[in-house]
Structure 1
Amino acid sequence: MTKKALRDDDNMHGLRRTGGLTWSVRLSIPRDRWADAGKAFGTKTGIKQEVIRSLGTRDKHEALRRRDKALAAMREDLDAKLVAAGFLPIHGHWQPDWMNEDRLLTEALEARREITATSDRTDGGDDQMGGTDPKRRLIEGMDYMLEDRAEQLEKAGKNPSAYVGRYREIALGKSTPIGPLFDRWMRDVETTIRQQTARGHRLAFRLLGEFLASQDGDEGPSQNPETLIASISVESVTKRRIGEFPEWLAQRKGLSAKTIQSRVSPLKTFWDWLERKGYSEANPWLGATKGLKRRAEKEEKRDREREYTEAELIALLQANPDAHRRWGYGAVLFDLVRLGLLTGARQNELASLTRERIQPPETEGALPMIVVTSEVAKTRNSRRRIPLHPLAQKIIKERLEALEDRSDDAPLFPECPPGGPDGKRSWTLSKRFTLYRVRKTPWL
């Protein structure tokens, strides 16, 4: 049998002619579901092996055109009857592994790279076929593969058109969904950033989703910004479309210029990554924050935090840590405020001090030191050793003597448990110090 004849036989799958020469379509029910289907349809025999519906035409080509739509409707009707009778749909909830969204995107993007890299110049070909286009042959091969998958989906009771259409759109460069690519990018960058920074990245994309929804006139409570931004395509995010995003953040969300810069920055970085990976030809976020730097400087001058007055410093330093023991953090703030003043170390560098990070004097007359390691340093250059003033030495000595835990990694300030996205001990300290600072006379 010739290849053409085989393809004709495949095309006639599921079709049959009745005595009046009208074409009908036949949907076979798996043997292990005959009894379920029989009960769902209420057949006299108690089983149902197939569903047959007339296509209302005698023309073969018209029957072929109507077949897929009729089969889809028949499967939907069969599943509805089964579910109403208390049974699972005809094929349960199965789907082939290649139908998974991540797998679809990965394969379709790989196909796009191959198609893009393949020449479309006609080569010599052969005597029968003549000259052929390598890129066209590659696309035809992809289409044959999709036909096979469509047949598998059809036999499994799935709608093949959605899968095939989505695969072709991505492979031929017409659509590139953002969601899976954003997940890949986050898996890539999360190894080098803190969790709090990662949360900021996700917030930036959620805000972009809200903005795009507002542009489309769909800001109702049913609209999920994260779902929206994950489903739209890279190609749809143009410079014109997102040009008003910074103004929207300022006017609708009330964000400062500096915060707006921090929200746009991960979006620009993500599109840089898309360009490097070949998923985008241009970065629409270039120039999006123009003018914000000057505005941020003006806002900073206007809202600049002033230094503590002498009276305020005295009030902080004279606070009685024993005045309200029930709060549980009086003593730790009493000690940490003084250590901060005497060492210049950051909150987390002090709150996370352990026994092993207290370094005794190396030589006679030298000062003991605290060591800021890479685990707690804010930046690479923050790793350092800080000498301790005699007043600071007294605080450290009392803390070490009060520790019941004699291990090297015992924290000097157990009152400050790890907290926040990155598990920093300064998380609790920062919140408690705000209460401490805003009181005219702390602890009263």
Structure 2
Amino acid sequence: MTKRGSTYYVRFIVPQDRWQDVGRATAARAGIRRDIVKSLYTKDYRQALLRRDAKLATIRTDVDAALVAHGLPPLHGDWSPACGDLQQQLTDQALQARQALEEADDYRAPYYRNDDPATGVIVSESISDRDFGADVVRESLHESAQRIAQRIGGPAGDKAAREACQQAQAIASGTATPLGILLDRWFPQIDGVVTKQLIDRHHLALSRLGQHLAQAAGIETGDPEGYARSIPIERINRKTAGHFREWLEKLPGLGPRVVGFHLSTMNTFWKWAQDVGYAEVNPWTGSTRGLKRKISLSTRARGEKRPYTDDELVRLLTQARERMTQPNRGPWARVIYDMLRLAPLTGCRQNELASLTVGRVIRPQHPGQLWRISVTENVSKTRSSVREVPLHPIAQAVIEQRLADLPAQPAADAMIFPECKPGGRDNKPGHYLSKRYATFLKSVLGENNAVDFHSFRRCFATFIKQAEANGADSCSDLVLDHLLGHKPVTLATNTYAAKRFDWSVYNRAIMEMGDRGIADVVLQAMRT
């Protein structure tokens, strides 16, 4: 509503893409019409509230009739909202009413006996603006809920409309809080703290929750996440959580690991809701019980991830080297060949290598020491992943050649692998490398779910342990944890032992790994 002078008016906003159509249908002077303003013929705010919705409905009906008369589609086109969309609209209406009621004056004027304040006896009170507004809201929500009854039809429609109306009235009165209000607070808090990929995973989980809740209610929705956002948090209980897990596990193509991800999203969000006082209990506590076993069985059936065999490493290195010599080779041929020598000799993750810069290459200050590369906090996966890794002479030769190919006196932030342009939701340099390496791997070893780029880290760990088994004193479990960027398991090592040893320890470990942990045929394939 708007006010002109002392009279209230209602303003109907025309969608921008229909300005010309409505202007033509209503014979607007300028040829377009952005809005339609009509008087409510009252100076009383309460009376204006009562007339507003009816006037808006009349304006819409008149505009649609004018459009159809000119051979144009009505404002809503051919679209007809699903029941779930109608409930979302009802929730939005309730939220707007909630805000209006919170801002309304709650003063109730006292009525004294014999209309004499001097008596001091209050016999009753007047209706406040908030009380009056609450009555208007109840009538308005009930009228809007009838669209759900008309859409479904029969007793089922009446029941759905009644439940939707009760839910909307609870939202408007402030006794229920839709998930959407809380999610709009939660997502900004975790943005920048977790990866974009994880945020996308949260949205997918909420979308599937909305799909489940809509199916359980026997209604359709064109926006499952939006439907979930319209549901009050108070409606979600342990029974709902249990049914949701059962529903997820029955979805075709959805493995136990993904089920666990979705339940983890709910558990994380509800913990936050408890912290901010909007959830008394967390119905998702224990919802993943038994999934770890199912994930283990699923992994076993699919094939556990493993390190590459010596034969596979030789085949990969040979194929990559041959592609390097082809005249029509692309820029990724060299990147993959270099990664095949760096990854198994450093144990670094894909993005840790792809994001390597000049400033993260550390040259030794004393003769006899190995070069090192630094994994900084901005590219590490966890806090424990921040580390420095010595370079085996073969890996060092790769980095030296890469540095020599850069322009003279490169900046500290110059990329060692400029081919690895950032990409993906999190804008990581390893994004496109992941895709190119997967294609290369499939072309050499065929379909094989047991190995991937991460298998080079498994190779590195295997090389270290094989060297230890062959008498390498420096290749202990603790040194391996430090080099891989893992938090040690035992209390003695993760609490009392030094977080970093003297660099000579790591240098010896890397050299002993090459001498006693890696097969000669693999080393030869890396050198040539």
Output the TM-score relative to the length of structure 1.
0.67
Q: Which residue of 2 aligns with 1:259?
A: 258
Equivalent residues in 2 for 1:314-333, closer than 5 Å:
314-319=314-319, 320=321, 321-324=323-326, 325-333=328-336
Aligned to 2:373, the other structure's residue is in SS state: strand
Aligned to 2:418, the other structure's residue is in SS state: coil
Query: CA 1:394–1:110 in 2, change beyond 3 Å: closer, same or farther?
Result: farther
Decide whether the 8 Å contact of 1:205 with 1:229 is kept in 2: yes
Q: Which residue of 2 aligns with 1:203?
A: 204
Q: Does 1:389 align with 2:392?
A: yes
Query: CA 1:340–1:67 in 2, change beyond 3 Å: closer, same or farther?
Result: closer
Q: Does 1:378 align with 2:371?
A: no
Aligned to 1:439, the other structure's residue is in SS state: helix
Decide whether the 8 Å contact of 2:95 with 2:171 is kept in 1: no
In 1, the alpha carbon distance for the partners of 2:183 and 2:38 equals 46
Report how far residue 235 of structure 1 moved: 2.0
Report how far residue 379 of structure 1 moved: 0.6
In 1, the alpha carbon distance for the partners of 2:398 and 2:97 equals 59
Report how far residue 256 of structure 1 moved: 2.1
Report how far residue 49 of structure 1 moved: 9.1
Q: Does 1:143 align with 2:130?
A: yes
Aligned to 1:254, the other structure's residue is in SS state: coil
Structure 2: segments with no counterpart, 5+ residues: 1-5, 12-21, 28-36, 68-90, 104-118, 145-164, 447-528
Q: Does 1:128 align with 2:132?
A: no
Q: Which residue of 2 aligns with 1:188?
A: 189
Report how far residue 427 of structure 1 moved: 1.0
Q: Does 1:411 align with 2:401?
A: no
Query: CA 1:105–1:204 in 2, change beyond 3 Å: closer, same or farther?
Result: farther
Q: Does 1:170 align with 2:171?
A: yes
Query: CA 1:248–1:338 in 2, change beyond 3 Å: closer, same or farther?
Result: same
Which residue identity lines up with residue 298 of structure 2 in the other structure?
E
Report how far residue 71 of structure 1 moved: 6.4
Deviation string, structure 1 residues 109-153 (Cα, Å, up to 9, x no partner): 989xxxxxxxxxxxxxx9534999xxxx9xx878259479x79xx
Deviation string, structure 1 residues 194-253 (Cα, Å, up to 9, x no partner): 11111111111111112222222345xx53212211112212222222312223222214
Query: CA 1:104–1:441 in 2, change beyond 3 Å: closer, same or farther?
Result: closer
Aligned length: 351
In 2, the alpha carbon distance for the partners of 1:197 and 1:336 equals 27
Q: Does 1:421 align with 2:420?
A: no
In 1, the alpha carbon distance for the partners of 2:345 and 2:122 equals 86
Aligned to 2:324, the other structure's residue is in SS state: coil
Query: CA 1:402–1:66 in 2, change beyond 3 Å: closer, same or farther?
Result: closer
Which residue identity lines up with residue 58 of structure 2 in the other structure?
D
In 2, the alpha carbon distance for the partners of 1:365 and 1:105 equals 75
Q: Which residue of 1 aligns with 2:340?
A: 337
Which residue identity lines up with residue 316 of structure 1 in the other structure?
L
From the two aligned structures, give the one with the greater helix fraction. 2
In 2, the alpha carbon distance for the partners of 1:28 and 1:318 equals 79
- Same amino acid, percent of matched pairs: 34
Query: CA 1:394–1:106 in 2, change beyond 3 Å: closer, same or farther?
Result: farther
Q: Which has the higher contact order (CA 8 A, sep 6+)?
A: 2
In 2, the alpha carbon distance for the partners of 1:364 and 1:326 equals 38
CA RMSD of aligned residues (A): 4.3
Output the TM-score relative to the length of structure 2.
0.57
Deviation string, structure 1 residues 316-339 (Cα, Å, up to 9, x no partner): 122224255444311100001100
Corresponding residue to 1:354 among 342, 357, 375: 357
In 1, the alpha carbon distance for the partners of 2:404 and 2:94 equals 56
Q: Which residue of 2 aligns with 1:431?
A: 435
Query: CA 1:311–1:282 in 2, change beyond 3 Å: closer, same or farther?
Result: same
Aligned to 1:243, the other structure's residue is in SS state: helix
Decide whether the 8 Å contact of 1:317 with 1:334 is kept in 2: yes
In 2, the alpha carbon distance for the partners of 1:250 and 1:51 equals 55
Decide whether the 8 Å contact of 2:402 with 2:416 is kept in 1: yes
In 2, the alpha carbon distance for the partners of 1:332 and 1:268 equals 41
In 1, the alpha carbon distance for the partners of 2:10 and 2:297 equals 72
Query: CA 1:100–1:251 in 2, change beyond 3 Å: closer, same or farther?
Result: closer
Q: Which residue of 2 aligns with 1:313?
A: 313
Decide whether the 8 Å contact of 2:98 with 2:171 is kept in 1: no
Aligned to 2:370, the other structure's residue is in SS state: coil
Deviation string, structure 1 residues 69-108 (Cα, Å, up to 9, x no partner): 776434432453356568xxxxxxxxxxxx9989859958
Aligned to 1:386, the other structure's residue is in SS state: strand
Which residue identity lines up with residue 353 of structure 2 in the other structure?
L
